[in-house]
Amino acid sequence: MRMAAGAAPGKVVLFGEHSVVYGRPAVAATLGLGLGAVAERDPDGPTLRVPAWGLETHPKDGKRRLDAIDRAFATAIEAAGPLDERVGITVDGELPPGVGLGSSAAFAVSILRALAEWRGRPFSPAELLAAAEKVETVFHGTPSGLDHTVVASGGCLRFQGGSEPPFKAIRLAQPVPVVVAWTAREGSTKAAVADLRVRVEAHPAVYERLFDTMGDLAEAGIAALERGDHAELGALFDIAHGCLNACGVSGPENEQMVRIARRAGALGAKLTGAGWGGAMLAVAAGDVAEAVVTALEEAGFEAFATQLGC
Ligand code: MEV
């Protein structure tokens, strides 16, 4: 039977979420968790199934209201088309949806890769980025490009919209030991970005200075990553978290996760992603990482230890 497959990893943002939307540099890295998409012939297609998220959708079914995931799927089909046969896509994997770990970008990139294999013509890297951006725009409104760029390119990247090229690979001196934790989010990335925009318009000069500081932290973070200085990286995470709090995107559970990680011995911790709940990233290795994971799980959060840059 005819079949095609594509995969993409999740991501964490180390520095510059939100300030990247205002042109400042950001740093992101791919995670060991991801999504895989399989394309198969389906006479009812195009159909989408994401069993891990409890989802089955037929975008052509006029009786249903089209929500973001239907429209995103339809956008991916259009970007890959025209297809010679009706296709059904099944997406699966361990990446939790909607918590700031790049699930929408991984959804876009894994589906696009499967569709490209299905049609027998791969996307060039630039075509893949352009198509993934269209899908991300359905989910996020005005994405900076950070999420789908790192998810499609892999590794650890410096990203700055408007610079040419917008992304540059960062050479890590050594893999970075981290703990990632998450909880449900109270709103979407689109809403968090729009909400911050209202505050920025009310206090533009203050936020411009804050975004400059966040950009400086990203550059200092890159230097720490290139030196392999994880104590400095952790200290910069703590400051970056304070900046995100000043942006109004840190919810009570972000604060709780960060506090638990620091108390359990992490070298530093910050929210990662768009905020309002969602994910946390802490620098922690070995026994300390285990203690951080245990403390977070005891408090009811999902958590795991991993390394960035592998
Ligand atoms: C989300 O991972 C990062 C944000 O800066 C949104 C974006 O860059 O599009 C909050």
Given ligand 1 and candidates 19, 139, 193, which is best to mutate, with the most ligand atoms within 8 Å of its CB? 193
DSSP readout, the chain? --EEEEEEEEEEEEE-TTGGGGT--EEEEEEEEEEEEEEEE-TT-SEEEEGGGTEEE-TT-TTS---HHHHHHHHHHHHH---SS-EEEEEEESPPTTSSSSHHHHHHHHHHHHHHHHHT-PPPHHHHHHHHHHHHHHHHSS--SHHHHHHHH-SEEEE-TTSSSSEEE---SSPEEEEEEEEEESS-HHHHHHHHHHHHHHSHHHHHHHHHHHHHHHHHHHHHHHHT-HHHHHHHHHHHHHHHHHTT---HHHHHHHHHHHHTT-SEEEEESS-SEEEEEEE--HHHHHHHHHHHHHTT-EEEEEEE--
> Is 146 near ligand 1, meaning CB less than 6 Å away?
yes
Q: For residues 212, 213, 218 and 221, what is the CA-based torsion angle, rounded to 10 degrees?
A: 150
**Average pLDDT in the 72-89 region?**
91
User: Exposed, middle or buried, 100 (CB in 10 Å: 0-12/13-18/19+)?
Assistant: buried
77-91, 148-162, 294-308: the lowest-pLDDT one: 77-91
> Is 147 near ligand 1, meaning CB less than 6 Å away?
yes
- What pLDDT is attached to residue 56? 77
Report which ligand 1 atom has the smallest distance to the Cα of 28: 2
> Is 273 near ligand 1, meaning CB less than 6 Å away?
yes
Residue 54 banded pLDDT, cuts 50, 70, 90: confident
Ligand 1 centroid to 272 CA: how many Å?
9
Given ligand 1 and candidates 22, 30, 104, 147, which is best to mutate, with the most ligand atoms within 8 Å of its CB? 147
Residue 66 banded pLDDT, cuts 50, 70, 90: low
> Is 230 near ligand 1, meaning CB less than 6 Å away?
no
Report which ligand 1 atom has the smallest distance to the Cα of 13: 2
Report which ligand 1 atom has the smallest distance to the Cα of 142: 9
Catalytic residues: 147
Structure tokens at 236: 């910069």
Q: Which residue has the tokens 């799980």?
A: 297
- What pLDDT is attached to residue 2? 87
Residue 60 banded pLDDT, cuts 50, 70, 90: low
Given ligand 1 and candidates 15, 18, 151, which is best to mutate, with the most ligand atoms within 8 Å of its CB? 18
**Average pLDDT in the 151-159 region?**
95
Q: What are phi and psi of 87, to 5 degrees?
A: -125, 145
Ligand 1 centroid to 140 CA: how many Å?
9
Q: What is the pTM of this model?
A: 0.92
Q: Is residue 24 predicted with pLDDT exceeding 80?
A: yes
Structure tokens at 97: 């949806």
Question: Cα separation of 278 and 104, whole Å?
Answer: 14
Ligand 1 centroid to 59 CA: how many Å?
27
Structure tokens at 163: 């610079």
Q: For residues 174, 97, 131 and 125, what is the CA-based torsion angle, rounded to 10 degrees?
A: 20
Q: What percent of the chain has pLDDT above 90?
A: 82
Whether residue 111 contacts residue 87, with contact meaning beta carbons closer than 8 Å, is answered with no
Report which ligand 1 atom has the smallest distance to the Cα of 19: 5
- What pLDDT is attached to residue 59? 59
Classify the C-alpha dihedral 140-144-147-148 as positive or negative: positive
Question: Cα separation of 35 and 92, whole Å?
Answer: 6
Residue 187 banded pLDDT, cuts 50, 70, 90: confident
Question: Cα separation of 37 and 91, whole Å?
Answer: 4
- What pLDDT is attached to residue 286? 97
- What pLDDT is attached to residue 149? 95
Question: Cα separation of 290 and 165, whole Å?
Answer: 39
- What pLDDT is attached to residue 53? 83
| Structural Rg of the chain based on CA atoms | 19
Whether residue 276 contacts residue 251, with contact meaning beta carbons closer than 8 Å, is answered with yes
